[in-house]
Amino acid sequence: MGDQLRRRGRGSGRGLALTSFSSSTGEEAAGGDRLIHERDLAWLQEADVVVAEVTQPSLGVGYELGRAVALNKRILCLFRPQSGRVLSAMIRGAADGSRFQVLDYEEGQVEAMLDRYFEGDPS
């Protein structure tokens, strides 16, 4: 899914921040916590749309989503109910059907769901 989203962001004239899609291996060696924090905040500030996979609970993703809301970014959260997890009410409850959307998905549906989401993108 991360590769699909990265292709949509590049060369499309759209800034796209992806959260919880990148590999965490080697992050510590890449410059430490401060650098990672500053880099990710810069990505959020540049982005027009933030896409987050929220099936696996993550404090970092929650923090990034909060910052994205504060920056008035468009946000799409993707959740897999088949995981057996329950999505936090703080995430599902933030959905307003416009700037903040939460979509439940199954693995085979992702490409079509993203197509529909970005076809409706006014940017």
Q: Is 106 within any annotated ligand binding site?
A: no
Chain-centre distance for alpha carbon 62: 10
CA distances for 34 relative to 18, 37, 50, angstroms: 19, 5, 21
1 is in an annotated binding site: no
- DSSP tag of 98: S
90 labelled as ligand-binding? yes
Tokens of 1: 């899914």
Number of residues in the chain: 123
Question: Bridge partners of 17?
Answer: 50
Instruction: Give the residue ranges of DSSP H helices in 1-123.
Output: 2-9, 32-46, 59-70, 89-92, 110-119
58 is in an annotated binding site: no
Binding residues: 64, 88-90
Binding residues for substrate: 64, 88-90
